[in-house]
Chains A and B, each alone.
Chain A
Amino acid sequence: MISPDSDIHVRVRGLRFNFGPRVIYDGVDLDIPRGKITAILGPSGTGKTTLLRLIGGQWRPKSGTIEVDGIDVHKQSRSQLFELRKRMGLLFQSGALLTDLSVFENVAFPLREHTDLPESMIRDLVLMNLEAVGLRGARDLYPEQISGGMSRRVALARAIALEPALIMFDEPFTGQDPISMGVLMRLVSTLNKAQGLTSIIVSHDVKEVLSISDYAYVISGGKVLDHGTPEAIRASRSEYAQQFLHGRPDGPVPFHYKTAKSYTDELLESQA
């Protein structure tokens, strides 16, 4: 794990979580370094989004602890949790924009809810954030009038509106064209460097994410399979890590969902 305690923004210890009989995490330990970009990599269905929701306190683990800034997320009252969440942002995969508000109002939403800033200042802040994600011109559009990729950029502008210390990105690059992806990657990197923001990025875009990350975890089957700097991950001898990084269909991570019967048996059964 990573060294001194004060350098760790999010600490996960002995995390266990399951959806009914399906085990998602089976004793996971993670340290997210402060002011760095940490990538969480892993195949689909491995519980990467679940991890972000657990860190955000939306879901409760079966056992184990998650600390943000040394505060145990799941031992807080609702009001204490809301105070903690003001210092963190979560960029949902879907964008989660409020459909009855325009792009401008969506970005202004957290500012209006949590600050007493004058309207002129809110306007300036919103326009600055929208300019950063390249959507100042779309401010009067509504969520149903913009693409999925644009929605995520608006959601990013909204997530950084309150200048959180920790921001979690759930598949931020999915559905982005190469230009938008490049701009977003630069933006994430700039936010991290300029504001000292701690970023956690969950993504399938392995090459892109590793190129801007300071640290990475590879998760599969409810466990951390490998972790280290991007260079260390790329050079990892772990079969799991290599299969995932190079997108190989054969390896320790099965492409097919677990089933008791073989493919041939099942086909022959239907003919019998």
Chain B
Amino acid sequence: MSRSTSILGDFLRGLGQATFFLITILRALPGALLRPRLIVQQLYYVGVLSLIIIVISGSFVGMILALQGYRTLSHFGATSTLGVFVSFVVVRELAPVVTALLFAGRAGSALAAEIGLMKATDQLSGMEMMAVDPVKRVIAPRFLAAAIAMPLLTSIFAVMSIGVAGGHLIGVDLLGVDQGTYWGQIHAQLRPHDVVESLIKSVFFGIVIAWISVYQGYFASPTSEGVSRATTSTVVVSSLTVVGLDFVLTAFMFR
């Protein structure tokens, strides 16, 4: 009983601390926007450097969906709807969710480790003593860059999955689905609000991953074990939050 109370207490304390930290970051954002160079630099680190994993994963997810979809649809003689099948699954669910999970593993963990190490090596304290607010100088640009990068990476994931080397490669080039039918069905069935909802999800996921990553790094114990724990927690907590949040958002959008 006392152990579960203590765990609940720790959780609520952590949640409160994280909420106050988020408010501090949000208040620092206008100042960070005045220094676009820092944001662009972080966009490169969290966005551009995540491209390779997103492009490759997107392509393979699209190829797998096309193979599985073609096999199932062929039982009903409906292989012409392969494009719709792939695009619905990718745009509505897999693009935002898989991109978020990959992003948490690639960029979120890197952010937490970098900030945690900056803390362990007194770099954040050093900034404070130079009268430079580390939340404005270090945290806010990283938070913003991660939140901006997620919808962009989600779009790239979707493009790679549905077209280019993904579903299109397998469905049209390999299995012989008519190219006009493939794209025509997508054009006819996929509604603009499907795309908008996908982007809304990715914005939420981006903010949540950015928040968890910078929080874990900033409040990490300044030891090698502490940084390691912060990195692991970032991936675990982000992943669980993303799938949970995805259910909530999907339930709202389902109506």
Q: List chain A positions with a Cβ less than 8 A from chain B.
A: 53, 56, 58, 78, 82-83, 85-86, 88-90, 92, 94, 96-99, 109-110, 113-114, 155, 158, 162
- Whether A98 and B129, one on each chain, are in contact in the complex, defined by CB atoms closer than 8 angstroms, is no
Q: Does B174 contact A (CB under 8 A)?
A: no
Note all chain A residues with C-beta closer than 8 A to B128: 56, 58, 85
Return 19 A-B CB contacts under 8 Å, by A number: A53-B125, A58-B128, A78-B133, A82-B133, A86-B131, A88-B129, A89-B129, A90-B126, A92-B129, A94-B121, A94-B122, A96-B122, A99-B121, A110-B131, A110-B132, A113-B130, A113-B132, A113-B137, A162-B130
Cα-based distance from A92 to B120 in the complex (angstroms): 12
CB nearest to A92 among chain B residues = B122
Cα-based distance from A107 to B54 in the complex (angstroms): 38
**In the complex, per-residue mask of B106-131: 1 if CB is within 8 Å of any chain A CB, else 0:** 00000000000010011101111111
Q: Determine chain A's interface SS by DSSP, over half rule.
A: mixed
Cα-based distance from A90 to B127 in the complex (angstroms): 10
- Whether B129 and A58, one on each chain, are in contact in the complex, defined by CB atoms closer than 8 angstroms, is yes
How many A-B contacts if CB must be within 8 Å?
52
Chain B contributes a number of interface residues (CB within 8 A of A) equal to 14
- Whether B130 and A97, one on each chain, are in contact in the complex, defined by CB atoms closer than 8 angstroms, is no
What distance in Å separates the Cβ of B148 from its nearest Cβ neighbour in chain A?
20
- Whether A109 and B130, one on each chain, are in contact in the complex, defined by CB atoms closer than 8 angstroms, is yes
What distance in Å separates the Cβ of B177 from its nearest Cβ neighbour in chain A?
49
Cα-based distance from A78 to B118 in the complex (angstroms): 21
CB nearest to B45 among chain A residues = A100
A58, A99, A155: the one within 8 Å of B125 (CB): A58
Note all chain A residues with C-beta closer than 8 A to B130: 85, 89, 109-110, 113, 158, 162
B118, B129, B132: the one within 8 Å of A56 (CB): B129
What distance in Å separates the Cβ of B239 from its nearest Cβ neighbour in chain A?
27
What distance in Å separates the Cβ of A117 from its nearest Cβ neighbour in chain B?
16
Note all chain A residues with C-beta closer than 8 A to B129: 56, 58, 85, 88-90, 92
B118, B121, B126, B131: the one within 8 Å of A82 (CB): B131
- Whether A92 and B131, one on each chain, are in contact in the complex, defined by CB atoms closer than 8 angstroms, is no
Cα-based distance from A158 to B123 in the complex (angstroms): 13
- Whether A96 and B123, one on each chain, are in contact in the complex, defined by CB atoms closer than 8 angstroms, is yes
What distance in Å separates the Cβ of B30 from its nearest Cβ neighbour in chain A?
15
- Whether B131 and A98, one on each chain, are in contact in the complex, defined by CB atoms closer than 8 angstroms, is no
Cα-based distance from A42 to B235 in the complex (angstroms): 44
Cα-based distance from A99 to B122 in the complex (angstroms): 11
What distance in Å separates the Cβ of A197 from its nearest Cβ neighbour in chain B?
16
Q: Which 4 A-B pairs have the closest CB atoms?
A: A96-B126, A96-B122, A82-B131, A85-B131
